[in-house]
Structure 1
């Protein structure tokens, strides 16, 4: 990493969906990596992990760009106005900005539902941590809502939530999810792209299994330094391997 460049920066990237807040770690001389965060509340639960991975990658000569998707985090767009297309288009514009800044094609790192976005982005490589199809993610969101309703003493059902979605947004994991967004999520499959490396935490189908907590399932955000270190090592090795192709 260049000693003359800041190791941390915050920028607002102009997009049709408003300014896209983006945290950048590394220098323009480094290899660029676009981090697509997981969706909904999983983004907040993994923020400390992504920060730890970004810091460690900067030490390895890889500059990471971590955005808040439109309608989430520090985005100026209300979540109710966010859409699947807005997420896709904003990421495409950000990837173009990253490539122009570094003069190189981007690599992409995603967690969980983040792998469903960015299929149309030209990327040197992709690294997926515990990727999940949209239909499964939506089912998990609905089950979490039903469990919360049960605990509050107001039990509901999948059918009731689906019926509500047809007329108004339904709060899932703290976000008002519209019928259009739910439909887009349900239809979203993991893209057929290459080269891609799949990593999993614990057991599962992947190219590598990493030890560590599945932070996206934790009730509160937490850091996992050992997992961040292992991820940074494996991502850096994967990027180096793909750079020679």
Structure 2
């Protein structure tokens, strides 16, 4: 347990998961009861590592504002058990449920789900399956899993071309291999057929949030709306009766930049949003 000068404590630990131990970090205020709990769900593959600093900065800011925050490395990721290729979307949902149950038992007040990229998509599915979620904080959510999967597979094709070799196949061929049960290495990560299949079926248009949403994105210019692709989902959710606040902050896409990058305006906007949500 580590006492931090900002008035909160940080406790790393391992949580028992279905496939093995899940590494977690729990941050909470040191002198007051938490206003509520916030569960963070990280993005996919290398995006998780690129965004670790931003996630840590935001988690500490939340804790300094009086919230208990739980960050969990999902199965096959970070310091948790198994290899990336062993994980499935359903496994990650089960991990998130366990983390939610642990946080619910520890934190007083409402629970909020906060996710980045595929972690945001996972948060939407989790909220639809669990009662009592107060609000979702979605950072740059992946709205269409099939499109995201194809983009991820293009990393392999680009790597083959950069190495001086002609790409041996296209995304359609790679998808066929995955559907046949073959694992494929992409950017240092072994992608399994089950994960690819589960990821491809994720479509936020089909999963209206059951609770209010803070939808925050990073772009070239600031504004009160999301990107066109995201805005279509937001409009559909609003038509279904979901309260959605959208905002785009000026900054670099820190989850994919070559160097580790921060976006202070996103942290400020998210902290402002959380004060409105409780």
User: Same fold, TM exceeding 0.5?
Assistant: yes
Moved more, 82-91 or 189-198: 189-198
Instruction: Give runs of aligned pairs for residues 194-209 of structure 1, distance below 5 A.
Output: 194-202=211-219, 204-205=227-228, 207-209=246-248
> What's the secondary structure of 1:20's corresponding residue?
strand
1:169 maps to which of 183, 205, 208: 183
Give, in angstroms, the shift of residue 231 of structure 1: 3.0
Q: Does 1:146 align with 2:162?
A: no
Q: Does 1:94 align with 2:82?
A: no
State the structure with bigger RCO (CA 8 A, min sep 6), 1 or 2. 1
> What's the secondary structure of 2:74's corresponding residue?
coil
Whether the 8 Å contact between 1:10 and 1:22 is mirrored in structure 2 is yes
Instruction: Give runs of aligned pairs for residues 34-45 of structure 1, distance below 5 A.
Output: 34-45=39-50
Whether the 8 Å contact between 2:4 and 2:10 is mirrored in structure 1 is no
Alignment RMSD, CA only?
Answer: 2.3
Whether the 8 Å contact between 2:61 and 2:271 is mirrored in structure 1 is no
Q: Within 2, Cα distance between the matches of 1:237 and 1:163?
A: 45
Whether the 8 Å contact between 1:2 and 1:27 is mirrored in structure 2 is no
Deviations 1:87-109 (A, max 9, x none): 00110111011011013331111
Q: Within 1, Cα distance between the matches of 2:164 and 2:57?
A: 39
TM-score (norm 2): 0.79
Q: Which residue of the partner structure matches residue 109 of structure 1?
A: 114
Q: Does 1:48 align with 2:83?
A: no
Give, in angstroms, the shift of residue 2 of structure 1: 10
Give, in angstroms, the shift of residue 60 of structure 1: 1.3
> What's the secondary structure of 2:70's corresponding residue?
strand
Moved more, 196-205 or 70-79: 196-205
Whether the 8 Å contact between 1:57 and 1:232 is mirrored in structure 2 is no
Q: Which residue of the partner structure matches residue 147 of structure 2?
A: 136
Q: Within 1, Cα distance between the matches of 2:47 and 2:212?
A: 25
Deviations 1:64-85 (A, max 9, x none): 2111110110012222321111
Q: Within 1, Cα distance between the matches of 2:58 and 2:66?
A: 13
Give, in angstroms, the shift of residue 62 of structure 1: 2.0
- The number of equivalent residue pairs is 239
Q: Which residue of the partner structure matches residue 192 of structure 1?
A: 208
Give, in angstroms, the shift of residue 200 of structure 1: 1.0
Q: Which residue of the partner structure matches residue 237 of structure 2?
A: none
Q: Structure 2 regions of 5+ residues with no counterpart?
A: 221-226, 232-245
> What's the secondary structure of 2:255's corresponding residue?
helix
Q: Within 2, Cα distance between the matches of 1:223 and 1:158?
A: 29
Q: Within 2, Cα distance between the matches of 1:143 and 1:25?
A: 37
Give, in angstroms, the shift of residue 8 of structure 1: 1.3
Give, in angstroms, the shift of residue 210 of structure 1: 0.8
Give, in angstroms, the shift of residue 22 of structure 1: 0.7
> What's the secondary structure of 1:39's corresponding residue?
coil
Q: Structure 1 regions of 5+ residues with no counterpart?
A: none
Whether the 8 Å contact between 1:71 and 1:82 is mirrored in structure 2 is yes
Q: Within 1, Cα distance between the matches of 2:16 and 2:38?
A: 19
**Structure 1 stretches of at least 4 aligned residues deviating more than 4 Å after TM superposition:** none
Q: Which residue of the partner structure matches residue 276 of structure 2?
A: 241
Q: Does 1:158 align with 2:171?
A: yes
Q: Which residue of the partner structure matches residue 14 of structure 1?
A: 16
Moved more, 149-158 or 197-206: 197-206
Deviations 1:184-213 (A, max 9, x none): 000012231121111110152561111211
